[in-house]
Amino acid sequence: MLTNFSTEYAQRSDDELLELATQRHSLTQEAVTALDAELRRRNFTESERVEHQKFVKYQARREYRGHRRKILGKRQFSWSELLSAFGAMGVIAWAYFSLPKPYRLKPDWEEAAVCVVIASVFVIVGWRPLWRNITFWITLILSASIQLAVVHAWVQRMGRLTRNAGKLATLFGFVLFFAIYGCLRLLRRNFYGEESTESG
């Protein structure tokens, strides 16, 4: 058995051996013995193995961040995006308060609506690359509706929201959006494959 492992590892490249060394915990004792012997034969030091492990972890983190960017698009807000978000909220507030009082929401619904508008506007402005993606808009409608219902029930139960409660209610909208969007993307990929296209 050891001879078989030695022959196999002798045919592998340096990178393949170092990659295998990072997974030594999953190998049998015979495989580990043969692997160590081959690494010594090629004059790999312990420090080189450690450096390779660090490189593998770094690559894994980069791939994970790249995967998140692929799912969520742009994550950081620029100054122009922040100004656009606040400008959009200003226009919405102006339009709402321009309405006659009979057409406005009740106070408990108003508080819930404010949290929903803030979360929705920042999602829309911050993730513009996804605007042509139908899943994005379906998710936004679903998450905003659920957030509105949950926050409204919260307001009715607690009375007026405190400052911290308002922040938490707004954050809930972001978390809900990303959770639903991730689930819908996963379902779509499982049904239609990774290469499916989504358009509005």
The answer on pLDDT for 38 being more than 70 is yes
Residue found by looking up tokens 């959006």 in the block: 177
Mean pLDDT of the chain: 79
The answer on pLDDT for 17 being more than 90 is no
Q: Which pLDDT belongs to residue 147?
A: 92
pLDDT digits 0-9 by tens, 168-186: 999 999 999 999 998 988 8
Closest CA to 144 of 172, 167, 166: 172
Structure tokens at 186: 């996963």
The answer on pLDDT for 146 being more than 80 is yes
The answer on pLDDT for 200 being more than 50 is no
Closest CA to 142 of 112, 108, 179, 168: 179
CA angle 137, 90, 148 (to 5 degrees): 45
Residues 6+ apart with CB under 8 A from 56: 19, 22
How far apart (Å, rounded) are the C-alpha atoms in residues 130 and 100?
35
Better-predicted residue by pLDDT, 177 or 44 = 177
Q: Which pLDDT belongs to residue 62?
A: 67
